[in-house]
Amino acid sequence: MVREPEGNLQQPAKPVLPTKYWFPLLVALIVTGAILAVSEFSSRSFNRTRNDLGQSMGLQSKLLELQKNLAQAEAGQRGFLLTHKPEYRSPYDQAVTALPSIATQARDLAAEDKPGRDMLAALTELIALKMATMRSSLERADTGDFEGALALLDSTDSRALDARTTAAFESMAQRNTAALADRAARWEDSLDASRSGILAVVGLNAALIALLALVLIRDTRRARENAQIQASFAERMKREVDERTAQLSALSEFLQVQSESEKAKLAGELHDELSRFLTPAQMDVNWLAGKCDDDGEVTRRLTRLTELLDSGIDVKRRIIENLRPSLLDHLGLVPAVRWHVEEACKAANLRCNLDVQGNVERLSPDVEIALYRVVQESMANIVRHARAGRVDILLERMTDGIGVTVRDDGVGMADVKVAARDSYGIEGMRQRLRAVGGRMDIDSRPGSGTAVRAFVPQRLSEALDATLTRQNE
Ligand X SMILES: Nc1ncnc2c1ncn2[C@@H]1O[C@H](COP(=O)(O)OP(=O)(O)OP(=O)(O)O)[C@@H](O)[C@H]1O
The residues binding Mg ion (CB under 5 A) are 381, 425
- Return the number of the residue (155 or 322) whose C-beta is nearest ligand X: 322
Q: Does 425 interact with ligand X (rule: CB under 6 A)?
A: yes
Say how many residues touch ligand X, by CB under 6 A. 17
Among 186, 263, 385, 390, binds ligand X (CB under 6 A): 385
Q: How far is the CB of 375 from Mg ion (least distance, A)?
A: 13
Q: Which amino acid is at 60?
A: Q
Strand ordering across the sheet containing 439-444: 351-357, 390-398, 401-408, 450-457, 439-444
CB 330, CB 264: distance < 8 Å:
no
Q: Does 413 interact with ligand X (rule: CB under 6 A)?
A: yes
Cα torsion for 228, 232, 237, 242, to the nearest 10°? 130
Q: Does 271 interact with ligand X (rule: CB under 6 A)?
A: no
Q: How far is the CB of 387 from ligand X (least distance, A)?
A: 8
Contact stretch for ligand X (CB under 6 A) within 90-98, 185-193, 194-202, 376-384:
376-384
Among 419, 434, 457, 467, binds ligand X (CB under 6 A): 419
Contact map string, positions 160 to 199, toward ligand X, x by CB under 6 A? ----------------------------------------
Contacts of 83 (CB under 8 A, 6+ apart): none
Q: Which of 340, 315, 346 is nearest to 325 (CA)?
A: 340
- Residue with CB nearest ligand X? 425
Main-chain dihedrals φ then ψ at residue 409, nearest 5 degrees? -110, 35
Q: Does 386 interact with ligand X (rule: CB under 6 A)?
A: yes
Main-chain dihedrals φ then ψ at residue 240, nearest 5 degrees? -65, -45
Q: Which of 298, 260, 466 is nearest to 376 (CA)?
A: 260
- Return the number of the residue (359 or 423) whose C-beta is nearest ligand X: 423
Among 67, 77, 450, 458, binds ligand X (CB under 6 A): 450
Q: How far is CA 230 from the centre of its chain?
A: 18
Q: How far is the CB of 245 from Mg ion (least distance, A)?
A: 22
Residues 240, 237: Cα–Cα separation, whole Å: 5
Among 119, 173, 257, 420, binds ligand X (CB under 6 A): 420
Main-chain dihedrals φ then ψ at residue 391, nearest 5 degrees? -130, 135
Q: Which of 218, 215, 212 is nearest to 31 (CA)?
A: 212
Q: Does 410 interact with ligand X (rule: CB under 6 A)?
A: yes
- Residue with CB nearest Mg ion? 425
- Return the number of the residue (425 or 437) whose C-beta is nearest Mg ion: 425
Q: How far is the CB of 448 from Mg ion (least distance, A)?
A: 20
- Residue 450 interface partner, choices Mg ion, ligand X, none, CB cut-off 5-8 Å depending on type: ligand X
Q: Does 74 interact with ligand X (rule: CB under 6 A)?
A: no
Residues 387, 345: Cα–Cα separation, whole Å: 12
- Residue 168 interface partner, choices Mg ion, ligand X, none, CB cut-off 5-8 Å depending on type: none
Q: How far is the CB of 431 from ligand X (least distance, A)?
A: 12
DSSP string, 117-158: HHHHHHHHHHHHHHHHHHHHHHHHHHTT-HHHHHHHHTSHHH
Cα torsion for 460, 461, 463, 469, to the nearest 10°? 170
N- to C-terminal Cα separation, the chain: 63
- Return the number of the residue (48 or 385) whose C-beta is nearest ligand X: 385
Q: Does 381 interact with ligand X (rule: CB under 6 A)?
A: yes
- Return the number of the residue (126 or 413) whose C-beta is nearest ligand X: 413
Q: How far is the CB of 216 from ligand X (least distance, A)?
A: 54
User: Which residues of this protein are in contact with ligand X, per CB under 6 A?
Assistant: 381-382, 384-386, 408, 410-413, 419-420, 423-426, 450
